[in-house]
């Protein structure tokens, strides 16, 4: 018996010693040697730079000749001396747990667990495309919360996520499920009506882990039987949503196509207007006055029109897409040129995940400069989501979320469609 006790003690001691050992050749710090680093605040480049990374944060950035002597001898060097280096990109409007073919009645066949597993695939693809942070604004069954937590735990690869859970919708509106016959007596899990109803639903979403609140201020395009041009919630309901969310420390995103719904949402105090298809001069003036962000989601308009017959949409949804999307391009271009604050968002899931960076080219085509488009996905996006202290720029003490491309994105923003290197939190995710 004593022999067995001694053996157990020796095993435990050996395990403890092994656990405490550090591999002698394992570098504790990493340095990226960058050909050019883009300062997204000023739109200027610094050449031949070292980005010194300690753990998951940037420790310092400076000229390679000056920095090299300061690095510890075991620092791992990543050579990006032929590349342009930028902060990891931020997409403020994604639906990682959905795909383009879920938009029509086919989505009824998907369970919440299946949607979460779909999200795991889409999270990896999105991260590899250079988007190291996303705001997921709408998912059924709190599947986006499960995905966020799995990424945090290291179970699956993916971007940093802020998530909304089920978006709030009126009964029968955009966000409800209108494909089922009355005998099924079923509504989507975000449906809430009246001031008391929406107040309770906001609290419920936060109870189950929502970082941000999303609500449908107007009808939508890819939904059955509602009108994108018309407001859904009343001004009183919208104010109750915003006041409840803000009171509990959450920002609010409003899906809004119609001009009236945009106006009501801005007056209610939302932090961002998503889509903004029918935005007019009154809306623009209100948004500029109150500092409300526009998240325009413009590339989907081209992709959807080209592929609308392939997605299993209903005739009503196809008709709305053909009506609304060309109008949206004109109005949003006017909004860009009028100086509304813009944060980058794609609505990825309406088109395939991983194509998020195609949004940049469309934004520039519609009147933004390449730098403005990049700022929308870095500086502005980090401000909108409330994470300006940790992402959006390459600065000491911020997360080491870094991408690299070949070429000059300030000359040709479309080079961002082919990101060749991705690092998230000091860990290399992709390299070519």
Whether residue 1 is predicted with pLDDT greater than 70 in this model: the reply is no
Whether residue 4 is predicted with pLDDT greater than 50 in this model: the reply is no
Angle subtended at Cα 399 by Cα 394 and Cα 400, rounded to the nearest 5 degrees: 65
Whether residue 23 is predicted with pLDDT greater than 70 in this model: the reply is no
| In contact, 116 and 143? CB cutoff 8 Å | yes
CB-based contacts of 65: which residues, under 8 Å, 6+ apart? 48
The Cα–Cα gap between 122 and 102 comes to: 14
Domain locations in the chain as residue ranges: 29-88+393-431, 89-356
Report, as residue numbers or ranges, the catalytic residues.
214, 347
Q: In CATH terms, is domain 29-88+393-431 a member of 2.40.30.10?
A: no
| In contact, 137 and 274? CB cutoff 8 Å | yes
SS (H, E, C) the chain: CHHHHHHHHHHHHHHHHHHHCCCCCCCCEEEEEEEEEEECCCCEEEEEEEEEEECCEEEEEEEHHHHHHHCCCCCEEEEEEEEEEEECEEEEEECCCCCHHHCCHHHHHCCHHHHHHHHHHHHHHHHHCCEEEEEECCCHHHHHHHHHHHHHCCCCCCCEEEECCCCEECCCCECECCCCCHHHCCCCCCECCHHHHHHHHHHHHHHCCCCEEEEECECCCCCCCCCCCCECCCHHHHHHHHHHHHHCCCEEEEEECCHHHHHHHHHHCCCEEEECCCCCHHHHHHHHHHCCEEECCCHHHHHHHHHHHHCCCCHHHHHHHHHHHHHHHHHHHHHHHCCCCECCCCCECCCCCCCCCHHHHHHHHCCCCHHHHHHHCCHHHHHHHCCCCCCCCCCCCCECCEEEECCCCCCCHHHHHCCCEEEECCEEEEEC
Distance from the first to the final alpha carbon of the chain? 58
pLDDT at 15: 38
Whether residue 26 is predicted with pLDDT greater than 50 in this model: the reply is no
Sorting pLDDT into bands at 50, 70 and 90, what band is 104?
A: low
> Residue range 157-162: average pLDDT?
98
Whether residue 18 is predicted with pLDDT greater than 50 in this model: the reply is no
Q: What is the pLDDT of residues 348-367, one digit of tens each?
A: 999 999 999 999 999 999 99
CATH of region 89-356, choose from 3.20.20.140, 3.30.70.1350, 3.40.390.30, 2.40.160.40:
3.20.20.140
Lowest mean pLDDT segment, chosen from 15-19, 108-112, 338-342: 15-19
Whether residue 25 is predicted with pLDDT greater than 70 in this model: the reply is no
308 or 77: which leads in pLDDT: 77
* pTM for this prediction: 0.91
């Amino acid at each position: 018996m004593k022999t067995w006790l001694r053996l157990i003690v020796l095993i435990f001691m050996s395990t403890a010693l092994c656990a405490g050992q550090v591999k002698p050749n394992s570098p504790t710090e990493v340095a990226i040697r960058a050909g050019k680093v883009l300062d997204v605040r000023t739109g200027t480049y610094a050449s031949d730079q070292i980005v010194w990374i300690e753990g998951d944060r940037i420790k310092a950035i400076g000229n390679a000749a000056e920095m090299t002597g300061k690095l510890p001898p075991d620092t791992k060097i990543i050579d990006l001396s032929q590349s342009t280096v930028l902060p990891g990109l931020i997409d403020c409007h994604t639906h990682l747990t959905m795909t383009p073919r879920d938009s029509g009645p086919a989505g009824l066949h998907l369970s919440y667990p299946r949607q979460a597993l779909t999200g795991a695939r889409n999270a990896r693809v999105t991260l590899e495309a250079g988007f190291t942070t996303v705001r997921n604004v709408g998912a059924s069954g709190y599947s986006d919360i499960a995905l966020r937590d799995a990424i945090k735990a290291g179970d699956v690869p993916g971007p940093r996520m802020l998530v909304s859970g089920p978006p709030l919708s009126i009964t029968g509106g955009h966000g409800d499920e209108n494909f089922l016959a009355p005998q099924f007596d079923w509504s989507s899990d975000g449906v809430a009506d009246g001031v008391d109803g929406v107040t309770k639903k906001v609290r419920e979403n936060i109870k189950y882990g929502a970082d941000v609140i999303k609500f449908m201020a107007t009808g939508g395009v890819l939904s059955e039987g509602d009108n994108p041009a018309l407001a859904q919630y009343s001004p009183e309901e919208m104010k109750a949503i915003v006041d409840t969310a803000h009171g509990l420390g959450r920002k609010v995103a409003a899906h809004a196509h119609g001009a009236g719904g945009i106006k009501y949402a801005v007056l209610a105090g939302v932090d961002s207007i998503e889509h903004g298809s029918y935005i007019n001069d009154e809306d623009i003036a209100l948004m500029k006055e109150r500092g409300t962000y526009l998240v325009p989601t413009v590339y989907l308009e081209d992709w959807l029109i080209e592929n609308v017959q392939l997605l299993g949409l209903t005739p009503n949804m196809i008709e709305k897409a053909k009506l609304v999307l060309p109008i949206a391009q004109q109005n949003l271009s006017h909004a860009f040129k009028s100086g509304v604050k813009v944060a980058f968002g794609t609505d990825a899931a309406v088109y395939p995940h991983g194509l998020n960076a195609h949004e940049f080219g469309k934004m520039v085509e519609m009147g933004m400069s390449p730098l403005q488009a990049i700022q929308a996905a870095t500086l502005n996006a980090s401000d909108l989501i409330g994470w300006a202290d940790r992402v959006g720029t390459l600065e000491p003490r911020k997360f080491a979320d870094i991408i690299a491309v070949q070429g000059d994105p300030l000359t040709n923003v479309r080079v961002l469609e082919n990101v060749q290197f991705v690092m998230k939190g000091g860990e290399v995710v992709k390299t070519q």
